[in-house]
Structures are given as C-alpha cells and as structure tokens.
Amino acid sequence: MCPQRPDGFTGKNESKRDSQAAGGEFIRPKKSLGQNFLNDTRVVQDILCAAELGENDAVIEVGPGLGAMTGKLAEQAGFVAAVEIDTALIPALKKLEERCGNLAVINRDILKTDVRKDIIEGFFLPRGLGGSVKVVANLPYYITTPIVMKFLEENSADIDSLVIMVQKEVAERMTADPGGKDYGAMTVTVNYFSEPEIMFTVPPHCFYPRPGVDSAVVRLKMRKEPPFELISRDHFFLTVRAAFSQRRKTLTNALANAPYMNVTREKVAEVLAKMGKDVMVRGERLSPAEFGQLSNLLIK
C-alpha cells in the first residue's frame, strides 16, 4: 500500500503559514514555477476517477510538487514516472519513491525531456507497460500550452489520454465551438489530436497558495485515427496559425498576409468558393474539419 504524500505534508493549517512542510522541511511555494499545490483530497479523488487508472496503465505525472496525487496514482496504476523541475522538492519525493516501489521521480524540466526515449523506453517498456500511457497532472499554468502541445505533437501515438488541471479559460478554449471568442488555434489543434472534455471545475480555495483564477480538469482522449485526412499536417497547422494570428481580419486577408503561407488572395477566394464559403468569412467560423479541407485545397 503506497502512502498518499511524502513525509510531513498534511495539507492542514495552510492558512496559518506561508510555506508547506514536505519531508520534514518547510517549502515556500515558488510562484515562478507555477506552484499552487492541491490542498483538497476530494479534488485529488475526482482527478483519479477521471483518469480511470488500472494496473496495466503507465502514468506520467508532470510536476508532482509535494506529492498530493503521486502516491494515489502509484496505488492505482502499474507504474508512475513523476517529472519535477524543482530540486528542493526531490528529497521528499524520493522518500515516497522508496516506499512505493512502482514510482520513478525524475528531476527534470518536462519541456526538455524526450518522453519516448527517457520515460516510455526507459521506465515503462522494460516493465511490460507502455501500451496505455496516461498523463495525469495539475499543470504549472505558466507553461500549460507548451506542455500540452508537446504531448500532442510529439507523443500522440504513445499516449492514451491526458487528464490535466488547467486554468478554466484554457479548458474553455480547448472545448469551444466554432464562432465564439474562445475558439482558436488551440481548439483546432487539440481537437485534431484528441477529444477534449471538461470533467469538472475547481475553485481557488482547493490550492495552496490560491491561484488568482478558476481551474478546471479537462480530459483529452487521444484519437486512434486522425479525424480527417490531410495532405500535409505542417501546412494544416500553418494555415490554422495564420488564420488566428489575425483573427479580426477575413480569412482571405489573414492567409494572404502571412508570408509563410505563400498564397494570394485570389487563390484563397477561389478555394473558399469551392468550399461554399463567403469570401469575407473569418477563420473562427471554420470547423477543424473545414480547416483540413481548406489546407488540402490550397496545396492542390
């Protein structure tokens, strides 16, 4: 049976001091590393429920912090690799690692980690795991987008799902419908790789220290097959980027103004006509599949 947290951390009395005890030491949360530690066991339980873990699952936890979720993840999964950048948190996490037996604490920047080589091949495959890799994390909000994009773009074939705590507004962008203010490049990209779903929202008082924003747990279930055929994935993502980098402009102008698209207004207008779209349409009106069609027709 794996303990829930490293030594010393109780999560209680957080209002009475400005630092948390972990491994017998006092830890002052570092704002620069996005350290808002979960302080509510019900939220941890709900995240575990959303992750639907089993003994054949291999879990990557980004930023275990004080270990609010780590021990519970190890109880339910086959193996957990927990990647934490903050060296000050490592001694307590290493104690937890010793006790769990199926946990590896890796002191590294997730953005500089080769997930396939260093985690999946290094820890999961030798243990007969790796068929079902799940990312479970209360993400550091200052780098949410690069972390999510890294997993989607580099590891989409390896990962089964991501169950992640993000800012509520980021969760709303991931799950937005075309036409609204939240719909953008992130929505299209996330939907290309996965089926996103907001599981529940989490108020600031469930963290220590309290973040200045509401949070939400979102589940990105990775697609086994792409949702539509693309001639060039790179061209598709450039098209999406160009469309939303000037979202107040018409799609025709936004694409023609982007030097890396190398396309004329006339060509965009011709393709939009073929798609049955108004030449004045803005990018935010196109569904992800329509962006795919647009990209394919621009290449042809």
CB of 79: closest distance to ligand SAM in angstroms?
Answer: 18
Alpha carbon 69 to its chain centroid, in Å, reads: 17
DSSP state of 122: I
C-alpha 191/C-alpha 193 separation (Å) is 5
Q: Which of 9, 37, 193, 237 binds ligand SAM (CB under 6 A)?
A: 37
**Could you give the C-alpha distances from 139 to 84, 217, 245, 285, in angstroms and in order?**
11, 10, 25, 30
Count the Cβ atoms, other than its own, within 10 Å of residue 209: 17
| Nearest partner of 158 among 253, 49, 81, judged by Cα | 81
- Binding pattern to ligand SAM, positions 110-149, x when CB under 6 A? xx--------------------------x-x--x------
Phi-psi label, residue 24: left if phi above 0, alpha if psi -120 to 50, beta otherwise? left
> Residue holding tokens 């992800």?
288
- For ligand SAM, give the closer residue by CB, 32 or 300: 32
Q: Are 24 and 34 in contact (CB under 8 A)?
A: no
* Phi, psi angle pair for 82, to nearest 5°: -110, 115
Q: Which of 23, 63, 71, 288 binds ligand SAM (CB under 6 A)?
A: 63
From 28-36, 118-126, 234-242, 281-289, span contacting ligand SAM (CB under 6 A): 28-36
Pairing of strands 79-84, 159-167: unpaired
Name the residue number minimizing CB distance to ligand SAM. Answer: 63
Q: Which of 6, 11, 65, 292 binds ligand SAM (CB under 6 A)?
A: 65
- Binding pattern to ligand SAM, positions 269-288, x when CB under 6 A? --------------------
C-alpha 134/C-alpha 59 separation (Å) is 5
Residue 86 near ligand SAM by CB under 6 A: yes
Q: Which of 57, 84, 97, 290 binds ligand SAM (CB under 6 A)?
A: 84
Q: Which of 21, 62, 74, 222 binds ligand SAM (CB under 6 A)?
A: 62
CB of 14: closest distance to ligand SAM in angstroms?
Answer: 12
| Nearest partner of 198 among 163, 230, 232, judged by Cα | 163
Q: Which of 35, 155, 191, 194 binds ligand SAM (CB under 6 A)?
A: 35
From 82-90, 176-184, 224-232, 250-258, span contacting ligand SAM (CB under 6 A): 82-90
Binding site for ligand SAM (CB under 6 A): 33-38, 62-66, 68-69, 83-86, 109-111, 138, 140, 143
